[in-house]
């Protein structure tokens, strides 16, 4: 083969490698929507894992396969991880919808809300015409 033929073969090989390799080296742009979807999937998977592990621990405990102290400690850890994952999912949802987070409730506010809900439930139960067994 001549030097010209080797040179043409070399140039064609480089061109083919460049055409094939360029898309592999190019990093796709990450949009806000795809980032939100990725984060939802990540935290959803973490929550599912925590839930699955808690169920497995409960089953092992019920069957007597695990020490009660270890069960209590492991269950607390996985519950904490599950709660964290749900909080992160909530945070992602708030950021995606641009809704400001609700202000934190104090214990007194929580007690007042519970008392109000109980009073509403009792009031609606007392007024219900369907049930003759309830007292006014």
Query: Which residue bears the tokens 């019920």?
Result: 62
Q: Does residue 22 lie in a domain region?
A: no
Rounded to two decimals, the pTM is 0.49
Q: Does residue 76 lie in a domain region?
A: yes
Phi-psi region of 113 (alpha: psi -120 to 50; beta: other; left: phi over 0): alpha
**Kind plus residue range of the DSSP H or E element containing 45:** helix 32-62
Range of the domain at 77: 32-102
Q: Does residue 11 lie in a domain region?
A: no
Q: Does residue 78 lie in a domain region?
A: yes
Q: Does residue 42 lie in a domain region?
A: yes
pLDDT tens digits, 52-108: 999 999 999 999 999 999 999 999 999 999 999 999 999 888 887 765 656 677 888
Give the distance from CA 109 to its chain's centroid: 28
């Amino acid at each position: 083969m001549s030097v010209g033929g080797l040179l043409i073969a070399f140039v064609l090989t480089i061109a083919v490698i460049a055409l094939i390799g360029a898309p592999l080296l190019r990093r796709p742009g990450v949009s806000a929507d795809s980032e939100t979807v990725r984060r939802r999937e990540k935290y959803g998977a973490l929550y599912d894992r925590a839930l699955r592990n808690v169920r497995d621990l409960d089953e092992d405990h019920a069957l007597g396969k695990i020490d009660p102290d270890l069960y209590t400690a492991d269950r607390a850890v996985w519950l904490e991880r599950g709660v964290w994952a749900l909080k992160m999912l909530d945070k992602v949802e708030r950021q995606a919808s641009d809704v400001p987070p609700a202000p934190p409730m104090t214990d007194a506010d929580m007690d007042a809300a519970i008392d109000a809900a109980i009073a509403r439930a009792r009031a609606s139960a007392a007024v219900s015409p369907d049930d003759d067994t309830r007292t006014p």
